[in-house]
Amino acid sequence: MRSTPPLSATVRAIPCAALLALAACATPPQEPAPPPKPAPVAEAPPLACPPVVQPTCPAPTPTPPPPPVVDYRGKLVAAAWADLPHWAREAVKPSLVAFARGCTVLEKQDAWKPACAGAQTLQGATEREIASFFEMNFDPWQVVNADDSTTGMITGYYEPLLHGSLVKSRRYRYPLYAVPDDLLVIDLTDLYPEFKHKRLRGKLVGNRVVPYYSRGEIEKDGSPIQGKELVWVDDAVDAFFLHIQGSGQVQLDNGQRMRVGYADQNGHPFRSLGRLLIDRGEITLERASMQGIKEWARRNPKKVEQFLNANPSYVFFRELPRDLPGPIGALGVPLTPERSIAVDPRVVPLGVPVYLATTWPNSADPLERLMVAQDTGGAINGGVRADFFWGFGDAAGAQAGKMRQSGRMWVLLPKGLAPPSPPAKTP
C-alpha cells in the first residue's frame, strides 16, 4: 500500500523556478523604458565651388643692370715731333717757366719726377737747349675728338678789373658771394670711377639732397645766401663775365685792390649767353663776342636780368693773396699769361705741356705755341677744346673777348708714359 507525504513536504517539493514565477506575478507592473534617442543627423557640408587651378607662370628672367654711362670725350694718339707745325718757332722759355711752376703738383707722380727735375736745371739755358730738353724727354700725342676729328674750338679768357666796395651802396649793389655754408659737394668717385671729374652739388632738405639754388634764385631780392657777400661791384654784366673768367681783381673804393678767384659752383649746367642772344635774334653771330654782348647790355638794360638768369650756373669766389703772379687755376698754381690754357681734364691731363696750333683772334695769322694745361672751365668740354689765358686787364680782355678760332692740340708726355686708355665709345 502506497503512502501520501504530508503537505509541508509537498510544498517544499515545488520547483524554485515556479515559485519565482508566482512571485513575479504578484509584483506591480513596471513602466516601459523610453525608446532610444535617434542618432544625430550630420549636417550637410556647405555648398562650395571647386577650387580654381591657378596657372603657373615661369619665373621672370632677371634684367641685368644697365651699363654705366660712359662719358667719352676723346683720346690721345701717338704722334711724331715732325707732326707739330713749326715746332719751337716761337720762344719756349716762358713755356718752360709755366711748366716748372706746375711741377709742384706733377712731381708727386713718379713718372714726372725726372722731367720736373730737368726743368729746374734750365734756368739759364738757350731757346735751342730748352727745345732739345722737351724733344729728348717727351713724346707727342695728338688730341682726337670723340668723333675722331682732330680740330676744335679755341677761345680766350683773362683776368678782368672790376670796381667795388666792401660795403653795399646805391652804386655798389651787385654782390660776389663766397661759398655758402649749406652747399653740399658729393663725390662718388670711390663707388663709381666713371664719375671722375664730376662732383654733385646740392643742399639738404629734410633727409633729401636737392639741387642747389639757381642763378635766378640767388640773385633775387632777399637772396637765400644773404650774409655770404665777399664784395659788392658796380656792374651786373661785369660780375657775370667774372663768373665766366673765373678770377679777377676788384679796385675798391678805399684805394686797395682785392684779387678774387674761383672757389666753387652751384652745380647747375652752364648756358652760353652769346648763343642764347643769337638764338633769340638779339645779336648776330659776328657780334657774339664779350664786347658785343656788353654793348647789347648797355642798349637793353631792361632785358639784362632775364637773359643773365637764363644761365643757371653760378660761381662762388674766395679772396686770394694780392702778391700772386697770376690767378690760381684748377691745377692749384698761378696761371702764366699767354702760356696757360684751360682744358677738359677727361682727355687732357692737368699740368702737361700742350702744343697748340691755332690762329690769332679774328685773324688767319698762325699762333703756334707751347702751352701748359693748368686750368679748367664750365664751357670747356671735349678733346680739342681749349681756353687761352691772355693775362690781366683791358688789353688782355680785348684779345680774349674776340678769340673764337679753330685749332689742333698735341699733348707732351714723359718718354715711356702712355696715356690712360679712354672709355670705350657707347654704340
Which tens digits make up the pLDDT trace of 296-330? 999 999 999 999 999 999 999 999 998 899 999 99
Report the pLDDT value the prediction gives residue 191, as an integer from 0 to 100. Answer: 74
- Let me know if residue 343 belongs to a domain: yes
- Let me know if residue 421 belongs to a domain: no
Query: Which whole number is the average pLDDT over 156-183?
Result: 96
Report the pLDDT value the prediction gives residue 388, as an integer from 0 to 100. Answer: 98
pLDDT: is 199 or 381 the higher one?
381
Residue 38 has pLDDT above 70, yes or no: no
* Phi and psi at residue 179, to the nearest 5°: -65, 125
pLDDT level of residue 70 (50, 70, 90 thresholds): low
Residue 247 has pLDDT above 50, yes or no: yes
- pTM of the full predicted structure? 0.77
pLDDT: is 23 or 194 the higher one?
194
pLDDT level of residue 34 (50, 70, 90 thresholds): low
Burial pattern 356-393, b for ≥16 Cβ within 10 A else e, equals bbbbebeeeeebbbbbbbbbbbbebebbbbbbbbbbbe
Query: Which whole number is the average pLDDT over 224-235?
Result: 96
C-alpha cell, 63 = 634684367
- Let me know if residue 121 belongs to a domain: yes
Under 8 Å between Cβ of 380 and 343: yes
Report the pLDDT value the prediction gives residue 161, as an integer from 0 to 100. Answer: 96
pLDDT: is 238 or 45 the higher one?
238
- Let me know if residue 267 belongs to a domain: yes
Under 8 Å between Cβ of 316 and 177: yes
Residue 179 has pLDDT above 90, yes or no: yes
CATH number at residue 324: 2.40.40.10
Report the pLDDT value the prediction gives residue 188, as an integer from 0 to 100. Answer: 76
Cα distances (angstroms) measured from residue 261 to each of 59, 178, 294, 331, 333: 59, 10, 22, 13, 12
Under 8 Å between Cβ of 157 and 388: yes
Secondary structure of the chain in HEC code, one letter for each residue: CCCCCCHHHHHHCCCHHHHHHHHHHHCCCCCCCCCCCCCCCCCCCCCCCCCCCCCCCCCCCCCCCCCCCCCCCEEEEECCHHHCCCCCCCCCHHHHHHHHHHHHHHCCCHHHHHHHHHHHCCCCCCHHHHHHHHHHHEEEEEEEECCCCCCEEEEEEEECEEEEECCCCCCCCEEEECCCCCCEEECCCCCCHHHCCCCEEEEEECCEEECCCCHHHHHCCCCCCCCCEEEEECCHHHHHHHHHHCEEEEEECCCCEEEEEEEEECCCCCCCHHHHHHHCCCCCHHHCCHHHHHHHHHHCCCCHHHHHCCCCCCEEEEEECCCCCCCECCCCCECCCCCEEECCCCCCCCCCEEEEEEECCCCCCEEEEEEEEEECCCCCCCCCEEEEEEEECHHHHHHHHHCEEEEEEEEEEECCCCCCCCCCCCC
pLDDT tens digits for range 335-355: 999 999 999 999 999 999 999
Q: Amino acid letter at 79?
A: A
Burial pattern 290-313, b for ≥16 Cβ within 10 A else e, equals bebbbebbeeeeeeeeebbbebbb
Q: CA-to-CA distance for 44 and 373, rounded, in angstroms?
A: 93
pLDDT: is 383 or 9 the higher one?
383
- Let me know if residue 89 belongs to a domain: yes
pLDDT tens digits for range 93-147: 999 999 999 999 999 999 999 999 999 999 889 999 999 999 999 999 999 999 9
pLDDT tens digits for range 389-403: 999 999 999 999 999
Under 8 Å between Cβ of 307 and 240: no
Report the pLDDT value the prediction gives residue 189, as an integer from 0 to 100. Answer: 73
- Let me know if residue 423 belongs to a domain: no
Report the pLDDT value the prediction gives residue 413, as an integer from 0 to 100. Answer: 97
- Let me know if residue 332 belongs to a domain: yes
Q: CA-to-CA distance for 95 and 360, rounded, in angstroms?
A: 18
pLDDT level of residue 427 (50, 70, 90 thresholds): low
pLDDT level of residue 15 (50, 70, 90 thresholds): very low
Report the pLDDT value the prediction gives residue 104, as an integer from 0 to 100. Answer: 95
Report the pLDDT value the prediction gives residue 356, as an integer from 0 to 100. Answer: 98
- Let me know if residue 358 belongs to a domain: yes
Q: Residue 363: which domain range?
A: 74-271+311-414
Report the pLDDT value the prediction gives residue 205, as an integer from 0 to 100. Answer: 94
Domain total in the chain: 1
Torsional sign, CA 365, 369, 375, 378: positive
Residue 6 has pLDDT above 60, yes or no: no
Average pLDDT along the chain = 86
